[in-house]
Structure formats: structure tokens, C-alpha cells
Chain A
Amino acid sequence: MKKQDGAVTAKKKKITWQVLWKQRYLLLMSVPFVVWIIIFKYIPLWGWTMAFQEVKPATFALPIWERTFVGLKNFAKAFSDRLFVQTMVNTLGTSLLDIVVGTVSAIAFAVLLNEMTFRRTKKLSQTISYLPHFVSWVIIASIAKNIFNDGGVVDTLLGTRLHLMSTNSPLIWVVIVIINCWKEVGWNAIIYLSAMAGIDTGLYEAAEMDGANRFQKMWHITLPGIRPTIVVMLIMSIGGILGVGMERQMLLSNPLVQDHTMVLSWFSYVRGIGSSDYGLGTAIGVFQSVIGITLLLIANKVAGMIGEDKLI
């Protein structure tokens, strides 16, 4: 209902000087943030020019017009790299798993928390659950390695060898995603919890009058109530689908599973910074961003088509 109102008013209101003057204080307040975005997000895009140049340590300090332009050579080099295809597969695989597992677990966790009657226990469990979010990957990874490595805690407890971290197959995606899920579930649940707090309590009361049990209330009121939030979160995560963080991949990897842990950001680092070929590294980064934006727009469109709130 709200959505339609919004759509109608948005169409009516045209931006005129009068409107701008009326909202001058609001506009003024946004200026620092616009400036911040321009300085820290748009001006650095200038660096993308490196993707079309040959930039090695020796030429790094030169001004841009003195470096050699190589056109799309860096992109061609990246796409023909022996690791590129596998890296794409890994990035997409890990990312999709991340989104599915991450979203489902965060929602489930939020719903469960929301059902808790004792306020204190609820707050306590929530705080404990999002603490790992603030711990660095270096620490999480060494804990995780203790637990999942060959001969680690899990293997010792079960008295067998599961080869969780040493099977050169997509199994490592699952292991990494589960560790990530454990680290982030509490944090991700916060936003869903706050969405649930906004649901009209009258709805629950009415449902109770109609004889709905707890699960029916969850299914018919809580989940539909946070649907717009879920969609927005999904759209946002699809934009970042190629942006799988490199540090957790690097830290949880080992030579046996490297084939399946290499992701685009790491690949860009290895080839760019590692081999001191900054042009190539930038090209990979540009590719990652362009695909990310394209996917974001597509997801946004699809969400609009199936009748959900669009993000942009």
C-alpha cells in the first residue's frame, strides 16, 4: 500500500528551484557526504586508467601520459590466464553459497531470537552471536584450522579423517562458507530483527484470536513482514557477488585446495601486487566492478518485475 503512495507522489513532484529552496537545509546537510563520496569513491576511479596501460614498478611513478597505452592487452592477459576460468567458477560458487547459506541462516536465527520471551536472554544471545563479526580473519582462520584441519578437533572427536580442508574439490567452498556463516550470522541477523520490530503487533494479536499457533504466526506474519528487507539485502549481495573477500580465502587455504579457493580479488592481488604487474591487477579489479554493477542492475530490474520494492 505504502509503495503505491510513494510511486504516485514521486511522479508528481518535479524538481524545481522552489522545491530545492524549500529543502535547502536538507541539501546543505548532505553536502559533506557528497563531497566525501566524490573524493574517496569517484576520484580514485582515475586509477582505472592503469588497466589500459603497462604499469610495472619501473613505470609506476611516471605521470599517466608517459606510460605506454596497451589497449585491452591487460584484459586479454587476465582472461587467458590459466587460473582465470577456475577463479571465476570459485568466485561464483563460493559467493552463491555464501548468499544462500548466509541469508537463510540469518533469517532463521532472527526469527528464533524474535520468538524469545526473556528479554535478557535474547539480548545476551544476540550480543554473543555477533561478537565474531568483530574478530579479524587471521584469528578466526587459525581457530578454524585447529578445528577442521586434518587431525584437528573434528577429526579427533569423530575418530576418523574427513579431509575437510584437504579435499581438492568444491567441498572447501562449503567449509569456508560455514565458517563465514558462523562468523557473520549474528551480525546479519540484526537487520532482520530490526525489520521484525517494525511489524504491527496488532497483526499478531489478531492472528492469535483466529487461533494461529506460533509457527503459523512466524510463517504468515513475521516472514512476509520482513520480505522487503530480504529483497533489498539480496539485491545488495548480488552486486557484491564477485567481491568475495580475499583474506579469508588466503588464510583458510593450503596448497592442496588452492585450485578451489582462488577468487577474483585474490587473483588480482597475486597477479597485480604479487607479480608487480599493476596494470593487470587493475584490469582484473575493473572487470570485477563492471560485472558487479551489471548484476546489481539486473537483480534490481528482476525485483521490480516480480513486484517487489526496487533498491534504486
Chain B
Amino acid sequence: MKTRKVMALLLTTAMVGSLFAVNVPVGAADLEPITFTYYDADGTNNAWDNPVSEAITAATGVTLDVTYPVGTSDGTQAEDIALMIAEDNYPDLVFAKGSATDLYEAGALIDMTDLIEEYGPNIKKMYGDEFEKLKWSGDDPGIYQLSYADTRATTLQTGGTCQIQWAALKENNYEYPKTIEEYEALIKKYLEAHPQTEDGLDMIGLSISASDWHWMITLGNPAGFIADAKPDNGQWIYDDDNNFYYKHASEDEKEYFQWLCRMYNEGILDPDFATQTHDDYVAKLSSGRVVAITDANWDYAAAEAVLISDGKTDKTYAPLPVTLHAEDKAPTLQYQGLQVGWGIGITKSCEDPVRAVQFLDYLCSDEGQILFNWGVEGVNYEIDENGNRYRTEDEITASQTDPDYSKKTGIRNFNGFPNYGDGATAEDGTPYTPNTRETIIAAYNEEQKAACEAWGVEMLIDIFPQPDEFETPPFPPVWALQPPQELSDKISILDEIAWPGLVKCVTGTEDEFEANWTEMVDALNANGMEEANAEMTEFVSQFIH
């Protein structure tokens, strides 16, 4: 009897104690040091040891132990995530990019809705009107991830549909190509005049990185921009009734790949493109050997930083509004709505989700955003008498030419964090990011300035079809949406066929092209392309409101 009484007493105390624990007032931020593990699918060697992360730790008590994909065959997150699921062991916070479905279906992500309601006023503020879009699907209104996309962004910079070295444009009196024929002519003209670089290396007309997932960026996506003249929706294009089609079987793309095939056979397209690694590709770009590329600006930015610091600014790339047909509009400035599906989430392995949400909330707060985008006051930026933040010349130069700038300062050093975009302003009217119309114009290098002058425009993006010329689609960008497992398996089989199939079409002779193309399309049809199209249409329809 005695033991029972003692037990009862103990139990009561424990229960009363837990009641108190729950009743801790919301406002009091808990600053007790805590370490969360974070898997950053886009990360490259970014440790939590820079001034910005230290300031975040000071404000929240949170230290992140960051891991990122290494050593996998193609450097993607898919294998890491698959192994996490197989081991049933997850990091506390995860940015899984395109593998979020796997985590979701494994039940690894927790629903943050209630936590955000209670602890996330700044998260709600950041996503504002578009907060509802964070809901997983029509069937499951839970919020499992934030969005990593820049919210409320105005596009101020673009890589265009394809790029060419400024040197080539300059020799053409800044007459830029608008169609693929003009693009080709310009490349050839420059190659003829400059068969070699100043260092004696042979110039390459056009290069592509296709041996890992970058095939989607430099081979797949440009085909969609140039040939289909559609913005990035992954492997999908849509018609006026929002029916979706796997894009690599479209007639326009056929024409584009036929063009690439001709370029390959004429020796304009890098003969080594199919087997070169992405590092080889970046090294080629950095040496100034490659006249033209079909890439995304974030992907060739590292190469440009090297070129600029080597004093070869004229070998950096001019974004071009090239399309296959003259009547098409280059879609790179089109606003597609808030991108959802890729973002940071909290897993079931996290022992303290409340602290995790509070941490995310801090990142979304004005203080956190300014820290993350601007850096540390007095070091990375100053405040003038009107209360506006500004960066010194040295800081701006460092941010453009030092490839390790992010790593050293911690500014935008981590991927997957929620962010305000360029052009978004806080309540006091000051911008969240250092990139505004004025700063971007001021930061143009001599090549970019000369081009603006020659074109008689203020900004480089002014030569592109403007955002107001397009209608915002009723669905978020499809490339980031997370289709259910069954559909995503079908898509990965289609990609598995298209990737080598397209490379084969390009590297074959021109006579073989027709046969190679038909072979690929037949294989796509035989492996469920029709079904995938129908399922994709159905899947996206639940996001159309």
C-alpha cells in the first residue's frame, strides 16, 4: 500500500509539473543553447562559424550543425534522403529540395500549422497573402515546409534564356540576337574572328554540362525557355486549359535539339560536353574559353566571379532574350507566383519543435532578415543619417569578386532559409536586401554599363519582355511542386529515358537525328508518358484556386 501511495504522489507531482511546463508564457524567448542538425540539400561546405550565424545564435540560442550532400555520384540530395528514410533517422531541420515527397510519405515531416499559429507571427507576416499556398495539397492542408523562394520579389536580374560573352556582343555593336539563328550567327562570327583565347586555348562555341543533375539546368530548362517559350515548370509545359505535357516530346523542342545536334556536328557545341563533369564545365567557363552558354545565372555566377577577379570582365556573360520563333516572348521575367514545395521543414526526429519554429520565426523577422541579407551592422553595412542601410564600395566589390564572400561573412550562406526577395521593403520603407534598382545599376561592371548605354536603357532586364506582358499562371511553379510518390516514380522513369535520349539525339549525326528522336519519344510513350501527363494535370489542378 505504501509504495502505491508514493507512486501516486510521484505521478501527481509529475503531472502538476508538466502543467506548469506548458504554461510558460509565449513571449519569453528561450535562449538556452540548443543545437539542431540541419540537412541543406543545396549546401556546399557551409559551416555555422561565421559572424552572421554567430549573431543568429546570440539572438535565438540556436546553433545549427549543417550537413549537405557530398560524395554521391551526382551530388544530389535524393540518395541522402533515401538513406535517411531507410534508417528512419532524420536531422532536426531539413531542406530536401525535390525529395520532400519522400520525406512526407515516410511521415518524417511534422505539420507546423499549429506551431506557426502560436509561435510564428513573423512567418505569417513574411508569406502574407500567399501563406495559404504553403498547404501541402487539396487533401492535406497541413504546412510541412516553408518556402525557400524569395517572397515579394521583383525580378531585377536575370540570366535570360541563354548567354553570350560580352566581348562577342561588343564586336557586334551591341546588336543582340533575338532568335536562335541570330544567336548561332553571332557565335560563329566571334569564333571566326577569335579562334583562340589570349592564353592560346582553343575557343569553344557553346558548352553544356550534362553529366549530372545539371543536365536539367543547361540542357533541359533552356529547351523549355527557348523552344517552348514557357517559364520554368520543370519537365512540364501546359496548354490554355492547364493540361500538362511532358515537355521533352514537344515539336518545338525537337526543333531546338535538332539545332543543338547541328551545332554539335559543326563543332560549335563542345565535343566533350556529354562526358565532362560539372567541374570541368565551370573550369572552362572560368578560363573565358566558352563563347556562349545556355545556363541559369546562379549556376554560372561562380565562374563569372573568377573571370572578374582575373580581369576578364569582357568574358562574362550577357543575358539574352533568345527564342526559337521570332514571335515568341522570352519568358524569364514572368512572375509565376510564390514557389512552394521546396523549403525548410521540421522532422519527427526533432525533440524541440517549438524552439525550431521559434528559430524559423526569428529568421523571418525583420531583424533576422536584415542580418541574413545585409550582414552585421558596422562590418558589412552602415546606416546613414536618414536611417537607410548602405554598403561601402569595398564591401560591394568583395561581394561580387570574392567567391568565398558568403562563406566568410555568412550573408545568404545557408540555403533553404525563408527569405524576402529583392525589392521587398520593411514597414519603415527600407529594403530587406541590398539589391534594389539603384544598387544594382550602381553595381554594374563596365561591360554591363556600356551595354545599357548602347541600348539606351536603364537596366539590363529592360531588353526583355516585361512582367506585365505576361499573365501569372493560376498555379505555383510546377518544378517545385511535390507530386505523390507514384507519379514522381513515373516522372523519374521518363527523365531516365529523356536524359540519355536527348544527349544521344544531340551527339548523333544529323541524318540519325530523326531516328534517335523517334526512338526516344517511342520509349517515353512506352513507359507511361500519356498516363503521367494525365496524372500531372490532375495533380496540379488541386493547386488552382
Binding site for B on A (CB under 8 A): 56-58, 60-61, 82, 138, 145, 149-151, 161, 165-166, 168, 250-251, 253-256, 258-259, 273-278
Contacts and interface: CB of A to CB of B under 8 A. Distances in A.
Interface bracket on B: 35 or more
A277 B486 CA distance: 11
A166 B507 contact: yes
Interface string B79-101: 10011011010000000000000
Interface in B488-540: 489, 492-493, 499-500, 503-504, 507, 523, 526-527
B274 A256 contact: yes
Given A138-B71, A256-B507, A276-B485, A165 B275 contact: yes
Contacts of A61: 88
B258 interface: no
Nearest to A142: B277
B499 A151 contact: no
The winner among A250, A258, A275, A278 for most chain B CB atoms within 10 A is A275
B275 A256 contact: yes
A61 B108 CA distance: 12
A57 B106 contact: yes
B271 A150 contact: yes
A181 to B, nearest CB: 21
B529 to A, nearest CB: 13
Given A166-B507, A258-B500, A56 B277 contact: no
A166 B108 CA distance: 40
25 contacts: A56-B105, A58-B105, A58-B107, A82-B493, A82-B526, A138-B71, A145-B275, A145-B277, A149-B275, A150-B275, A165-B275, A166-B275, A253-B73, A254-B211, A254-B274, A255-B215, A255-B274, A256-B500, A273-B86, A274-B79, A274-B492, A275-B492, A276-B85, A276-B105, A277-B489
A162 B279 CA distance: 22
Given A60-B88, A275-B489, A254 B71 contact: no
Q: By DSSP majority rule, is chain A's interface helix, strand, loop, or mixed?
A: loop
B279 to A, nearest CB: 9
Contacts of B210: 255
The winner among B71, B275, B492, B500 for most chain A CB atoms within 10 A is B275
Contacts of A150: 271-272, 274-276
A18 to B, nearest CB: 51
Contact of A255 (B83, B105, B500, B526): B500
Contact of B274 (A56, A166, A259, A278): A166
B102 interface: yes
B443 interface: no
B346 to A, nearest CB: 18
A151 B201 CA distance: 13
Nearest to B501: A255
Contacts of A82: 493, 523, 526-527
The winner among A57, A150, A259, A273 for most chain B CB atoms within 10 A is A57
Contacts of B480: none
B471 to A, nearest CB: 36
Contact of A254 (B82, B86, B102, B275): B275
Contacts, number: 82
B526 to A, nearest CB: 8
Nearest to A277: B489
Contact of B503 (A149, A255, A277): A255
Contacts of A276: 82, 85, 102, 105-106, 485
Which 9 interchain pairs have the tightest Cβ spacing?
A: A57-B106, A151-B272, A150-B272, A57-B85, A255-B500, A250-B73, A273-B82, A149-B275, A256-B274
B78 interface: yes
Nearest to A148: B275
Nearest to A141: B73
Contacts of A275: 489, 492
Interface string B190-228: 000000000000000000001100010000000000000
A266 to B, nearest CB: 10
A86 to B, nearest CB: 12
Given A255-B503, A274-B492, A276-B106, 20 more contacts: A57-B86, A57-B102, A57-B108, A58-B105, A58-B106, A138-B71, A145-B277, A151-B271, A168-B500, A251-B73, A254-B211, A254-B274, A256-B500, A259-B500, A273-B79, A273-B83, A274-B78, A274-B82, A275-B492, A276-B105
A255 B86 contact: no
Given A255-B211, A276-B106, A168 B504 contact: yes
B105 A149 contact: no
A259 B519 CA distance: 14
A175 to B, nearest CB: 12
Contacts of A165: 275
Nearest to A81: B493
A164 to B, nearest CB: 9
The winner among B73, B88, B211 for most chain A CB atoms within 10 A is B73
A56 B106 CA distance: 8
Interface string B409-427: 0000000000000000000
Interface in B422-437: none
